[in-house]
Homo-oligomer: A and B are copies of this chain.
């Protein structure tokens, strides 16, 4: 089975036969898969009326467990966006009634963002749809290969370290 990257590597090989293109075989595929996944995610979510950036925020709150509250600072570290962006996102999610802002009782500088019941329902539905769509993409891969793939990816990802201190 041939893929887009085989073409890419072939073209580079013609032009720069002097270089070792082995890294491209791995990383180009990862980048391209990530792009296709973004589109698949988008599709899965629009069926549930939410967008990818909304899912990112709601999912972080959902994973935190009851009472589904996190500070904006924690949220921006989880989702890797800047503070200005997070303010904007929380504004829009509040307007849609999926989250609400509360004063932080332990720090009067701070705020807590809390999932509403409606937000919890939305993120749970969207997550199930996402898992279903992703499971489809893995349908042809034997369990054994899937496990091996996850392990190899882990060994590449682990050195980057966790972004949540």
Contacts and interface: CB of A to CB of B under 8 A. Distances in A.
B29 A31 contact: no
B156 A1 contact: no
Nearest to A130: B23
A86 interface: no
A118 interface: no
Report how many copies the assembly holds: 2
Contacts of A4: 157, 160-164
A138 B22 contact: yes
A32 B127 CA distance: 17
Contact of A153 (B8, B23, B26, B65): B26
Given A15-B65, A63-B8, A162-B7, A26 B155 contact: no
Contact of A1 (B16, B150, B158): B158
Closest 4 pairs between A and B when the two form their complex, measured CB to CB: A34-B34, A23-B134, A29-B153, A25-B150
